A and B are shown apart, each in its own frame.
Chain A
Amino acid sequence: MISPELLRRFPLFGGLTIEQINVLAMAAEEITVGKGYWFFHQDEELHDLYLVLEGQVGIVMELPRQEVVTSTIGPDDVFGWSGLVPPHETTAGAKALTPCRVVRFDCQRIRSAFPSDWQFGCLMMEKMAQVIRERLRDLRMEALPAYVQ
């Protein structure tokens, strides 16, 4: 568990009620990792969502002989949307590009709160849609044009 007060400061959690922030806080733990740490790999089952407090995380496409960073996630941003969106399988890897301090949320606990509070579920899905939109934008507007040449 981490302090609800800490979570409230993040734009991602804007619009959530105190009860909803409390559910997130109960499902959260803070972890510190070194550069090169893999939070998860591509094509894995995932039930975590991460919020970056400090450091940079790369969203990585893992190819047979190469790793391609398609997005860089910094403080205040989240990654691991697959933890909340079925089928809960990662579509890319996530690797610490620098030493990182992050909050890790247990998505199974978060999801179990939705049936008694659909408003919470609705808000979290809206936020995840925005996160995936950002990844898509990075891929289409930055990564693809960079490698087409």
Chain B
Amino acid sequence: MQGVVLTPPLYVVLCLFFARWRLSMVSPESLAHWNFFAGLDESTLGKLASLVSQLHFPEGETIFRQGDPATTLYLLLDGWVDLTVSQDAQGVRRELLMTLTQGEVFGWSAVVEPYIYTASAQCATPVTVLALPGPDLLALFTADAQLCYTLMNRICRVIAGRLESARAQLVSLFVSR
């Protein structure tokens, strides 16, 4: 008798759980839309899509901190993310490096040794991201060297973009003197 009473709420809970899981699924086609994943074949996109989850962060939230173990690579779907570094050991003085916008990849340290974030990422607005677990992505790279080449090539360009921005910042210091 007790079992019969329990059945409807359990069913509702399962339905809700299933609905939530369905909502967080990302389709392979939607990945192909972003430059970072452009040109990959359907089966590869399918594998990537199965690793990805869509996350939301409120304004002001820190997504990761400089010096933390880098576990996740992110693609910014919506909102602005500030990248900052602290130039003192206490992390008190923070310098804004750049503000990322839609379509940009960040958290690249998740796939580059020694897997430590080199900057902090903080939401300047409410933010939606795709999150890719670094270890899963690295396992895919081990199984598919061409995918590794293609995406690491793009990761190199992402880091080169950060370098470019840091150089521009240094140039502006000289110009403003």
Contact = CB atoms under 8 A, between A and B. Distances in A.
Main SS of chain A's interface residues?
A: helix
A63 B175 CA distance: 9
B166 A121 contact: no
Nearest to A68: B170
Contacts of A126: 112-113, 148, 152
Given A114-B149, A125-B148, A130-B113, A144 B160 contact: no
Interface string B89-111: 00000010100000000001101
B88 to A, nearest CB: 9
Nearest to B162: A136
B146 A118 contact: yes
B174 A92 contact: no
B148 A61 contact: no
Interface string A37-55: 0000000000000000000
Interface in A62-91: 63, 66, 68, 70, 81-82, 85-86, 91
Given A122-B152, A130-B112, A91 B174 contact: no
A136 B173 contact: no
B148 A145 contact: no
Contact of B152 (A82, A125, A133): A125
Interface string A91-129: 110000000000000000000001000110110011011
Contact of B171 (A61, A130, A132, A137): A61
Contact of B163 (A86, A132, A141): A132
A147 B170 contact: yes
A26 interface: no
Given A86-B153, A91-B160, A133-B112, A118 B167 contact: no
A143 interface: yes
25 contacts: A68-B170, A91-B163, A92-B167, A114-B149, A118-B146, A118-B148, A118-B149, A121-B146, A121-B153, A125-B149, A125-B152, A125-B153, A129-B112, A129-B159, A130-B112, A130-B113, A132-B159, A133-B118, A135-B163, A136-B166, A139-B166, A140-B87, A140-B166, A144-B95, A148-B87
Interface of A: 61, 63, 66, 68, 70, 81-82, 85-86, 91-92, 114, 118-119, 121-122, 125-126, 128-130, 132-133, 135-137, 139-141, 143-145, 147-148
